[in-house]
Amino acid sequence: MVAIVDSGSTKSDWVILDDFKKVFLKTETIGFNPNFINRELITPEIQKNSNLMLVKNSITKVFFYGSGCGVKKNCETIQEELIKVFTKAEIIVKEDLMAAAYAAYSGKPAIVCILGTGSNSCYFDGENLKIELPSLGFLIGDEGSGSAIGKQLVRRYFMKKLPSDLHAEFEAEYKLTVEDTLKNMYHKPRPNAYLADFTKFVIERKDHPYFKDMVFEEMKNFFEYQVLPYHEAKDAEINFIGSIAYYYENILRSVATEFNLNVGHVVQKPIESLVDYHIKYIL
């Protein structure tokens, strides 16, 4: 059996293929971004999943694509933790951009962007991945992401910048205090996922004029910082992977039009396309 894993900062999608390359199992765990999760939590979190525990000894290869795995040390961390569970498997760990490139590939070169809890971009020609820009994380990067939108929302709430109707609704729904917010951001694991969780408040009200403008500006930041620096941007198709891209697709396309850029397809969950790519080209 082969495991294919697409791991973001919030959630990991797992697909287990049998020896005939047919889907045997689909399941989920939390996300395993080594920049935000204590490595000691990774193995126990996998072990909580009873479905994975039932097949762990039958898995001979794990393809793990994860956010935060663009750094060699982080890849090694994930590898070392996975082998504790899948003791009979070869463990292959690559960054999430590679999964996005595979999932978005349609036979021609393209710029591929991730817009989920975090954000990132690359250029994929069908064989080689080119990354011209570093992933700076949610504190100084991740433009357009769930954590960036969540951060904007929380900041504007506390600084009394939200319109009165949105302020009242947010206050009633979350009853948020400065003390709790700072505690979750600075003293608990996965602060980027904490901030990104507030995005659902915006998504539920995405047609509100104030949020339309807020998200539009955040998407402009994304294109300016993570797309336009690629000299291929003006000519290549630009494809998107991730829930934020999916929910704000209309705004995304409007911003792209303003920059005279061509957005191709937008995929909410890359796991199915990623599995198809492995079956077709790798396994």
Q: How is the beta sheet containing 11-17 ordered, strand by strand?
A: 23-30, 11-17, 2-7, 61-66, 90-95
* Residue ranges per structural domain of the chain: 2-100+271-282
pLDDT per position as a tens digit, 106-150: 888 999 999 998 999 999 998 889 998 888 888 888 999 999 999
Strand 23-30 with 11-17, pairing: antiparallel
Alpha-carbon distance 241 to 243, whole Å?
7
What's the confidence (pLDDT) of residue 31?
A: 94
C-alpha distance from residue 220 to each of 3, 64, 111, 168 (Å): 37, 31, 16, 28
What mean pLDDT, rounded, does the chain reach?
A: 94
Helix axes 178-186, 146-158, angle to 10 degrees: 150
The topology under which CATH files domain 2-100+271-282 is: Nucleotidyltransferase; domain 5 (3.30.420)
Predicted pLDDT at 172: 97
Report pTM: 0.82
For range 177-204, the mean pLDDT: 93
What is the Cα–Cα distance from 270 to 256, expressed in whole angstroms? 21
pLDDT at 226: 95
Q: How confident is the model at residue 104 (pLDDT cuts 50, 70, 90)?
A: confident
Q: In angstroms, rounded to a whole number, what is the distance separating the alpha carbons of residues 14 and 7?
A: 8
